[in-house]
């Protein structure tokens, strides 16, 4: 299952894609990581999906990543006495802690943490931003607002707060239960929703205890203000453009996407671009030209992965959506301008031995036109460093730890193989040559570059670079 692209594909599972045959078809179409959305999945459903994915993994003997996406805090209004009201621009409207049904002038807000955090001038967006309020006066019990943009507003609509930082955990009780349940399964990544600050990640890290990678979803403007700190404390980042586009002017979202993608690349952290990438393929067998350009832009930008949500979870054409995304990524990476664009975004290596060796490996690989870079990685850091360089040649990541190989399936350019650890340099060269040949990246007589850490098995100690030939039998490095 060798992919002909370096950008990875994440696909969400749901009603349209929750059978073993469909998961198998999606994997063959190009999926590298499957996402399970806990906003809709039960614990039993999550376990069943993990089992199906691991069945496909065993069939093809290729590491597959699994991302469990936690729901996060869902902020909603109370209900109205008549089910809905019509709000008009300029009128007054009150949000309060009175649980009685609302009317034309007020409604219950069952979130005391919001009332405590609101300040005059703050914006409140209701129903995905269709209704906009401006806070005039605020207290812990009520907020008097002015309707800036009005329309019909019905029961239990969502609340977004683009200016307000809530002093509550990003993990709800449901999230904690879901996280604990997920940690008992063979999953690789957990995504945290509605992150506002670095502290929001600390609790999940404590619960996860290093068993899974922690992904921060950037979907609130408050997170952008501290993006570098959030990237530093996270293992990966998702640009969740749906909610981000609700809470900030939509014309600023493309710039935010570029900023987050480039900051993540500088830090060597995987970054996913998500939401509405091929939205029209929920009901149509082909995407719009604008959607194709959107996916292509993320690939040109060097994002580690692009993601399908409803397209693969509930759409009518899940396999076609994956195939389309696969073709777009392959075509972009063949484009004559792609290497130049990727190179222009490359950052200077840090002044460490590991970074220097990885940068040297990329330069040698491109100068000598080698078949592949083979990196031995147990902690994943050698693989991540190799990917951060965005070399023009394939990267084969060999790990003795199956869980790490699965986690690295998300990372740009890494073809992950589970392989026993080596004991010496000669064994390292033989193993690298053998796998490069078996995985069809190199033919006899071609050269490969090998990076590893010595002593072997020492996490994070990339300190060895070796140039080797693939032997005439395809097995022995010379």
What lies within 8 Å, CB to CB, of 245 at 6+ separation is: 253
d(CA 90, CA 87): 9
Catalytic residue flag (residue 172): no
Q: How far apart are CA 160 and CA 244, in angstroms?
A: 10
Answer yes or no: 347 catalytic: no
Residues with Cβ within 8 Å of 264's Cβ and at least 6 positions away in sequence, in order, are 231, 236, 237, 270, 271, 304
CB of 190 closer than 8 Å to CB of 204: yes
Q: 180: how many CB neighbours lie within 10 A of its CB?
A: 12
Identify the active-site residue in 275, 358, 377, 451.
Answer: 275
Catalytically annotated residue among 6, 217, 406, 447:
217
Query: How many helical (H) and strand (E) elements, i.e. helices and strands, does the chain have?
Result: 17, 21
In this structure, are residues 381 and 387 in contact, taking their beta carbons and an 8 Å threshold? no
Query: Of these residues, 28, 74, 76, 258, which one is catalytic?
Result: 76
The reply to whether 358 belongs to the active site is no
CA–CA distance, 311 with 281 (Å, rounded to integer): 6
Burial class for 142, CB neighbours closer than 10 Å (0-12, 13-18, 19+) = middle
Catalytic residue among 35, 197, 362, 385: 35
* Known catalytic residue at 269: no
Q: What is the DSSP letter of 252?
A: G
Q: Annotated catalytic sites, by residue?
A: 35, 76, 217, 275
């Amino acid at each position: 299952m060798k992919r002909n692209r370096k950008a990875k594909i994440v696909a969400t599972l749901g009603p349209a894609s929750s059978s073993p045959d469909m998961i198998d078809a999606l994997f063959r179409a190009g999926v590298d990581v499957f996402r399970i959305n806990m906003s809709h999945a039960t614990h039993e459903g999550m376990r069943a999906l993990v089992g199906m994915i691991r069945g496909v993994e065993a069939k093809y003997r290729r590491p597959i990543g699994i991302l469990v996406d936690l729901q996060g805090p869902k902020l909603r209004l109370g209900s109205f006495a008549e089910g809905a009201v019509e709000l008009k621009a300029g009128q007054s409207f009150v949000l309060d802690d009175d649980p009685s049904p609302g009317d034309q002038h007020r409604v219950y807000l069952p979130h005391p943490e919001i009332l405590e955090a609101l300040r005059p001038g703050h914006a409140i967006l209701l129903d995905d931003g269709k209704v906009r309020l401006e806070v005039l006066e605020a207290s812990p019990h009520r907020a008097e607002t002015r309707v800036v943009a009005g329309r019909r507003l019905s029961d239990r609509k969502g609340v977004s707060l683009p200016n307000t930082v809530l002093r509550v955990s990003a993990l709800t009780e449901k999230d904690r239960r879901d996280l604990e349940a997920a940690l008992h399964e063979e999953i690789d990544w957990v995504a945290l929703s509605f992150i506002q600050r670095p502290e929001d990640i600390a609790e999940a890290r404590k619960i996860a205890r290093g068993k899974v990678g922690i992904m921060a979803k950037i979907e609130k403007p408050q997170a952008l203000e501290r993006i570098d700190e959030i990237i530093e404390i996270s293992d990966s980042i998702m640009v969740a453009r749906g909610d981000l586009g609700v809470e900030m002017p939509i014309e600023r979202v493309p710039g935010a996407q570029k900023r987050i993608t480039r900051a993540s690349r500088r830090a060597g952290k995987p970054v996913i671009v998500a939401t509405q990438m091929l939205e029209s393929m929920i009901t149509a067998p082909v995407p719009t030209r604008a959607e194709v350009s959107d996916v292509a832009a993320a690939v040109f930008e060097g994002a580690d992965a692009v993601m399908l949500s409803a397209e693969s979870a509930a759409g009518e054409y899940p396999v076609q959506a994956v195939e389309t995304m696969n073709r777009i990524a392959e075509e972009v990476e063949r484009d004559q301008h792609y290497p130049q664009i990727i190179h222009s975004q490359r950052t200077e290596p840090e002044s460490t031995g590991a970074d220097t060796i990885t940068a040297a490996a990329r330069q040698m690989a491109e100068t000598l036109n080698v078949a592949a870079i083979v990196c031995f990685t147990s902690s994943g850091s050698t693989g991540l460093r190799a990917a951060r360089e965005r070399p023009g040649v394939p990267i084969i990541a060999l790990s003795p730890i199956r869980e790490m190989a699965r986690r690295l399936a998300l990372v740009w350019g890494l073809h992950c193989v589970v392989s026993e650890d080596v004991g010496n340099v000669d064994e390292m060269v033989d193993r690298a040559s053998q796998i490069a040949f078996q995985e069809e990246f190199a033919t006899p007589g071609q050269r490969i570059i090998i990076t590893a850490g010595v002593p072997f098995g020492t996490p994070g100690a990339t300190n060895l670079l070796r140039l080797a030939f693939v032997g005439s039998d395809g097995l022995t490095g010379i």
